[in-house]
Amino acid sequence: MAQAAEIGAPPARQWRQSTVFLYLRSLFALAIIWSLIALWVGNHVILPQPTSVAYELFRLVISGEMLVHAAVSLWRLVLSYALAALIGIPLGLLMGLWPWASDLLDPVVEILRPISGIAWIPLALFIFGVGNELPIFIITYVALFPFLLNTMAGVRTTDRTLIRAARTMGVDQRTIIRHVMIPSALPQILTGARIAGGAAWMSLVAAELIGAPSGLGFAIEWYRQLLMTPKVIAVIVVISLLGYLTDRLLRWLQRRLTPWSTGIGAGR
């Protein structure tokens, strides 16, 4: 994060060390390689030039079409992500704190977990049909496990000495759960939240490709059928950007909620 340039360095040097510059430089290099490959392929449908993708992206944004798709997708994403957190975190706490809950639920979790969310899409098509329900179901399913497993692991790995310290101050079990075990698990819960965020974006696109009448995934499939490859790639670019921004947001949240965990390990 803060690799802030040395004090007194000239502005040009500061700029060359800034994150924005480093990102732009890499993306520019990528665009040149892409352009060369596109020249070599020579087929606009298979691989268009980056400039025509940029042009189509611009047009989709100006016309408002991109905004509509992105808004629909984001709405589904936020709703399912919240659902996954609301189910996954309490279940993870339950399983982390009480062995009987873990004995009961762990086999179910371990059997369901390896099944990719995508595997449920055909079945979900029968159940929900094409609409909002299918992507919401798939995303919730996929985002649930990172929340659950990380919460559980976080609670279980609470430093025993911290619990002992609290007990020698005479506090009861409820306080220990509320003020020792949950805060101690918070950094890992937030790590789970970031993994869930990435997984949610991936499954969102997969679910919308097949099972939704709108959204970014739908737009990709729509323009593919029309052989409008530049627009397909333009939508992909937007997905990438939004996914990246989601992760930045979650990382910011992580720093805000757990300011101590930057120095953890050295801590205690």
Partner 1 sequence: MSHPATTGPKLRLDAVRKTFTVPRSGAEVVAVETADLAIEAGEFLTIVGPSGCGKSTILNMLAGLELPTGGTVAMDGRKITGPAAERGMVFQDYALFPWKTVFENIEFGLRYGPHGKGLSTAERRSRVARCVELVGLGGSEQKYPHELSGGMRQRCGIARLVANEPDVLLMDEPFAALDAQTRIILQEELLRIWGETGDRAERRTVVFITHAIDEAVFLSDRVVVMSAHPGRIIEILDVDLPRPRTDATRTRPEFQALSQTIWNLIRDEVYRAATAAGSAGGAGD
Out of 22, 41, 165, 241, the residue judged to bind partner 1 by CB under 8 A: 165
Handedness of CA 182, 92, 157, 191 (dihedral sign): negative
Q: How many CB atoms lie within 10 A of CB 256?
A: 9
Site for partner 1 (CB under 8 A): which residue of 61, 87, 183, 228?
183
Cα(161)–Cα(97) distance, integer angstroms: 16
Q: Which of 14, 26, 173, 175 binds partner 1 (CB under 8 A)?
A: 175
Q: Work out which of 159, 240, 241, 255 binds partner 1, going by CB under 8 A.
A: 159
Close Cβ partners of 17 (under 8 Å, ≥ 6 residues apart): 3, 5, 9
Give 173 or 240: the residue with its C-beta nearer to partner 1: 173
Q: Using CB under 8 A, which of 1, 46, 169, 226 touches partner 1? A: 169
What is the total count of residues that contact partner 1 (CB under 8 A)? 27
- Residue 178 Cβ vs partner 1, minimum distance, rounded to whole Å: 9
Q: What's the token pair of residue 164?
A: 């002992």
In the bound state with partner 1, the residue whose beta carbon lies nearer, of 132 and 150, is 150
Minimal distance, residue 24 CB to partner 1, in Å: 35
- Output 110 or 172, the one with its CB closest to partner 1: 172
Identify which of 234, 233, 202 has the alpha carbon closest to the alpha carbon of residue 73. Answer: 202
Cα–Cα distance measured from residue 179 to residue 187, given in angstroms and rounded to the nearest whole number = 14
Span from 29-37, 171-179, 209-217, 231-239 in contact with partner 1 (CB under 8 A)? 171-179
- Using the minimum distance from each CB to partner 1, give the nearer residue, 64 or 267: 267
Q: How deeply is 143 buried, as exposed, middle or buried, from its count of CB atoms within 10 A (0-12, 13-18, 19+)?
A: buried
Using CB under 8 A, which of 1, 111, 170, 226 touches partner 1? 170
* For partner 1, the closer CB: 109 or 186: 186
- 162 near partner 1, judged by CB under 8 A: yes
Using CB under 8 A as the criterion, what x/- string covers residues 246-265 for binding partner 1? Answer: ------------xxxxxxx-
Phi, psi values for residue 224, rounded to 5°: -65, -45
Min separation Cβ 235 and partner 1, Å? 41
- Does 177 help bind partner 1 (rule: CB under 8 A)? no
Exactly one of 31, 130, 186, 242 binds partner 1 (CB under 8 A); that residue is 186
Nearer to partner 1, 143 or 193 (CB): 193
Where does this chain bind partner 1 (CB under 8 A)?
159, 161-162, 164-171, 175, 179-180, 183-184, 186, 258-264, 266-268
